[in-house]
Amino acid sequence: MNQRGYGGPLRYIQGPGVIADIGRYAASLGQSALVVVDSFLWDGLRGRIAGSLEAAGVEARFLRFGGESSDTEVERCIGEARAAAVVIGVGGGKALDTAKITASHIGARIVTVPTIASTDSPTSAIGVIYSPEGVYDCVVRCGRNPDVVLVDSAVIAAAPARFLVSGMGDALSTFFEARSNQDTRSRNYIGDGYAPTAAGLAIARACHDVLMRDGRAALAAARANRLTPAVETIIEANTLLSGLGFENCGVSAAHGIHDALTVLGPTHRFFHGEKVAFGTICLLVLENRPRAELEEVIDFCIDLGLPTTLADLGLAAVREDEMRAVGEAAMAPASVIHSVPVALDSRLVADAIWTASAIAEARGAERDPRRPT
């Protein structure tokens, strides 16, 4: 691959209260909008958004998101869109994905307004479709990134801290997965796939540096719903740096192991980023990275309360045959795990998961001798 490619949203705006400016940003894209709003925000945010759009002369139709990013839900949105020039998604990842996919079907411009910082989907051109029952179905490439990503940090700081922590777990994988893809010269997610640019790789590195510098201070503030510069920087790392990093450089075993772990029921109650954090520890074991790197990641996860062991993921009693099934699921031909610079088989994946958990458990005991092992 001799061509390198870079992509991202046209604009990213972040700060307390920026939701009040949504009318101005939407009006620069078109005069009619479909607004898909997450159900739990329907009463709280809809009025403010409607007022701003009206003041800017944008005719808006509001649709309460059904809760699942499914084909049925996308069809319902397309039916309601009535040739809207802009689709605005407000809420969590699934509402935003539905808005992005709807916009790509009707050729509309797109604005995402994430209200939690738990994943890096708001900036990307990728949407995920689930069955109406919530089982993963497929990834949709929307063809374009959002025109505007509007991140109201005051809204995000008001949400439970677990969302911000989970977003840090997802962002923790970005640099290490970018490095896997660089080592194997894999294609990124821009268009049909290019080699990453120096810009993409630098962003993935910046994502890691910001997490290590500000992650712990951000958690201390977020626990009390306070908005400090560290929280602002972590919101940006979780949303923009991680989003640009994964899309421009690719994902690998942290996400591959995350996907495979979902074959085990107890993991379903954990957030995406929580499982990806554990997957990142597994990735470092799988790639046999230096001890200091592994300890930096494990210590960060322990300090933030992200899962580092199988027991932390509700899998204290997991059996050998169950872990073999995880290893086999990870080896599916379409899995993203294959971009690691290691010859893989299902036994190796399972062994890396067992070992990652054991190393993290020993590290936890070493740091806190009172912690039971």
Binding site for Zn ion (CB under 5 A): 170
Among 152, 208, 214, 255, the one annotated catalytic: 255
Q: Is 43 a catalytic residue?
A: no
On the CB side of 40, how many CA atoms lie within 13 Å of its CA?
A: 8
117 annotated ligand-binding residue: yes
268 annotated ligand-binding residue: no
The per-residue DSSP string of 148-174 comes to EEEEEHHHHHTS-HHHHHHHHHHHHHH
Q: Is 312 a catalytic residue?
A: no
CB 251 to Zn ion: min, Å? 7
Name the residue nearer to Zn ion (CB basis): 52 or 145: 145
95 annotated ligand-binding residue: yes
275 annotated ligand-binding residue: no
**What counts of helices (H) and strands (E) characterise the chain?**
14, 8
Among 152, 208, 258, 338, the one annotated catalytic: 258
Residue nearest to Zn ion (CB): 170
345 annotated ligand-binding residue: no
Name the residue nearer to Zn ion (CB basis): 170 or 287: 170
Conformation bin of residue 126: beta by default, left when phi > 0, alpha when psi is -120 to 50: beta
> Hey, how many other C-beta atoms are within 10 angstroms of the C-beta on 19?
19
Chain-centroid distance, C-alpha 250: 13
The per-residue DSSP string of 243-289 comes to HHHHHHH---HHHHHHHHHTTSGGGGGS-HHHHHHHHHHHHHHHTT-
CB 234 to Zn ion: min, Å? 16
Residue listed under structure tokens 């200091």: 292
CB 123 to Zn ion: min, Å? 12
CB 189 to Zn ion: min, Å? 12
Q: Is 192 a catalytic residue?
A: no
User: Residues with catalytic annotation?
Assistant: 170, 255, 258, 272
Annotated binding site: 38, 93-97, 115-118, 120, 124, 130, 170, 255, 272
Annotated binding site for glycerol: 120, 170, 255, 272
